[in-house]
Amino acid sequence: MNWYKIAQNLYNIPRKEYTPFPEDYDSFSEDEQTKFWEENRKKRTEWDQAMQHALATGKITPEQADERGYVWTNPGEIKPLPPTLYHVTTAKNEVVASQLKTRKELGQSMGKGLGGGESDTLSFTENLEVADGIYNGLLEAQLVAKGEKTMDRMVGEAMRGTNAEKPWIDMIKEYYKIDNDESLDKFVEYMGSNYVISNSYLPKTLEEFVSGPEGRDDPGAWKPLSSSKWPHGTGEKESYTKFIRKATLQEQRDRVFDFYKSWSSFREHSGGPLNPLFFLTDVMGLAGVPEEEISILEFRPKQGALGYQVSGLGEWRTWTGEAIELVRVIR
């Protein structure tokens, strides 16, 4: 049997035919059933990927895909891609030399850009103004990822209403439950610090804490925070409600970047620039991207290419870079 030929035409084979359910399944041993489901899951994934590729490149219609057993679980309707599409990339040279690839194809669980959406799809916008906002947002986010745009700087801009119609510091205070200026200063100091404070909620000794889920990964790094010493007890064992350890550089940058995501959202709500909606961003990866690799690219769909529209930011998605072709580098 020519398996290569079959692999090239999986989309022509009904799903039930490619992944049949054995009639004698009930007679399988437990190990045989486990093996069957592992193989079945692998074949279903192969079939789904082949079907999505065929849909994206116009080899099959949505109606034909449905007839052959493809289950479309997203809310957007599969239809022809718009004539002009924009994509903001963090790998300009590679994309120009080759083609766009999904996070799944790149083996990335988190992207170096926005990092949102399904890992086996590519994201575009049909709105150049939105693409420009995403581009500027990525450049700013990279400053945060590098540690160049600090907590002090962001809080100062929120107080002044920089690049917005009004300050948004009150939104930050409400979101993080900050009651006064002293609490704000402590919050900023901690978020920008090189240590991690963990709450044990119930008083614990250091030995109890490091044997639990919060402290067991790196038990030698934790120390009790003296100001959290529990005032009650016999004195025979010292208990605390907070423990402290040095933070890794990645932990520091991730913590500040998480703040940046909410900070950017509040700024947009205050009349500021677009918040591009960062989801699963590889913060350290973004920090290491050369600035000139961040770029807006214009594409057009190939004949018959299909995809689906997502609700926000004029976003469209499709499943392969083979469905589109590069028109130009905008910036």
For 57-101, the pLDDT digits (tens) are 999 999 999 999 998 877 678 999 999 999 999 989 999 998 888
Tell me, what's the pLDDT at 96?
94
Instruction: Answer whether 215's CB lies under 8 Å from 240's CB.
Output: no
Q: What is the DSSP string of 46-105?
A: HHHHHHHHHHHTTSS-HHHHHHTT----SSSPEEEPPS-EEEEES-HHHHHHS----HHH
- Residues 271-311 have pLDDT tens digits of 999 998 787 788 999 999 999 999 999 999 999 999 999 87
Confidence of residue 142 (pLDDT cuts 50, 70, 90): very high
State which residues form the domain around 117: 78-147+273-329
Same domain, 143 and 277: yes
Residue at 182 is within a domain = no
Same domain, 294 and 322: yes
Nearest to 40 by CA among 23, 54, 20: 20
Which range scores top for mean pLDDT: 113-127, 132-146, 308-322? Answer: 132-146
Same domain, 14 and 43: yes
Tell me, what's the pLDDT at 5?
43
CATH (domain of 309) = 3.20.170
- Residues 143-168 have pLDDT tens digits of 999 999 999 999 999 999 999 999 99
Tell me, what's the pLDDT at 3?
36
Same domain, 89 and 137: yes
Q: How many domains does the chain have?
A: 3
Q: What is the DSSP string of 107-135?
A: T-SSBSS---S-TTSEEEES-HHHHHHHH
What is the rounded CA–CA span in Å between residue 255 and residue 278?
14
What is the rounded CA–CA span in Å between residue 221 and residue 124?
44
Q: How much of the chain, in percent, has pLDDT values that exceed 90?
A: 70
What angle (nearest 5°) sits at the alpha carbon of residue 326, between those of residues 87 and 50?
Answer: 80
Q: How much of the chain, in percent, has pLDDT values that exceed 70?
A: 92
| Domain end residue (candidates: 42, 67, 92) | 67
Same domain, 142 and 279: yes
Same domain, 41 and 82: no
Q: Is the pLDDT of residue 322 over 70?
A: yes
- What average pLDDT is seen over the chain? 89
